[in-house]
Amino acid sequence: MTALLEVSGLTRRYGGLVAVSDLNVDVGAGEILGVIGPNGAGKTTAINLMSGVVRPSSGRVVFDGADVTGLAPHRMVQRGLVRTQQATAVYPGHTVRENALRGAYTTGFPGPVHAFLGTSRARRMRIAADERIERLLELLGLTDVADSVADALPYGLQKTLGLVIALAASPRLVMLDEPVAGLSAEEADHVRDAILRIRAQGISVLVVDHNMRFMSGLCDRVLVLHHGQELALGRPQDVLANPAVIEAYLGRGHGNS
């Protein structure tokens, strides 16, 4: 499998605290890689480093063959690497469709002058954005609520809208930070199915979450972080049966039972 994202020696220090230490991992083209670990394991810090939100103390991030270490998040988006946040972030009082356009304009805004004057360039870009949004709303099952006010939707649908906003930027890799946190089992299944449909479009996914049922039914491989370091990496069924992983989650003694 060809690596789309390659991370080598990635480290982040905060004074005497090492949040992530010498992390080496890759995400293949069309792969879903899961990242799990106990609270404080460094999961969010790791994806912040990979996506440009935080600059690493050392190490390299290579995306699509180019060194993007420390590149600003908006530059990462322009290159095709997009991440979502843990909390939903919809614009209140605006429709699902209007919210989705936010993502489309992160990589395709015509410029303030063109937008203000309504030039042919602005009209072409708006038509292309509208068409992309309609395809994404259909792909992720939000067509029926496209004209609904986004912040009035159930939380699970707001999470799915977050995926639409990210995909509207036409990424090659999407990083999802706890996409099913706070969701019911049924809502989590809806988000899982949406992510699988994303992968079917040829988009790679890196997903961080605590929900083991969700992760084991979704990911091709799972990386376990513990104290900012790799504890295990492999197929979900192998990783979740690893005694060291069981001990990290449940405490000493469980790994030998």
CA distance 216 to 183: 17
The answer, yes or no, to whether residue 114 has pLDDT greater than 70, is no
pLDDT in tens, 219-243: 999 999 999 999 999 999 999 999 9
More confident residue, 145 or 256: 145
> What's the predicted TM-score (pTM) here?
0.86
5 by DSSP, 3-state: which? strand
Percent of the chain with pLDDT over 90: 60
238 DSSP 8-state letter: H
Query: CATH 3.40.50.300 residue ranges in the chain?
Result: 1-80+171-257
CA 70 to chain centre: 18
**What is Dmax (Cα atoms) for the chain?**
70
CA distance 164 to 104: 10
CA distance 254 to 148: 48
Q: What distances in angstroms separate CA 106 from CA 74, 94, 122, 191, one per listed residue?
A: 8, 18, 14, 23
More confident residue, 27 or 166: 27
- Mean pLDDT lowest among 88-102, 108-122, 188-202: 108-122
Q: What distances in angstroms separate CA 209 from CA 17, 36, 38, 191, one per listed residue?
A: 23, 6, 10, 12
* Homologous superfamily of domain range 1-80+171-257: P-loop containing nucleotide triphosphate hydrolases (3.40.50.300)
CA distance 141 to 76: 27
pLDDT in tens, 34-82: 999 988 899 999 999 999 999 999 999 999 999 999 999 989 999 999 9
The answer, yes or no, to whether residue 107 has pLDDT greater than 70, is no
SS3 content of the chain, % helix, strand, coil (to 5): 45, 25, 30
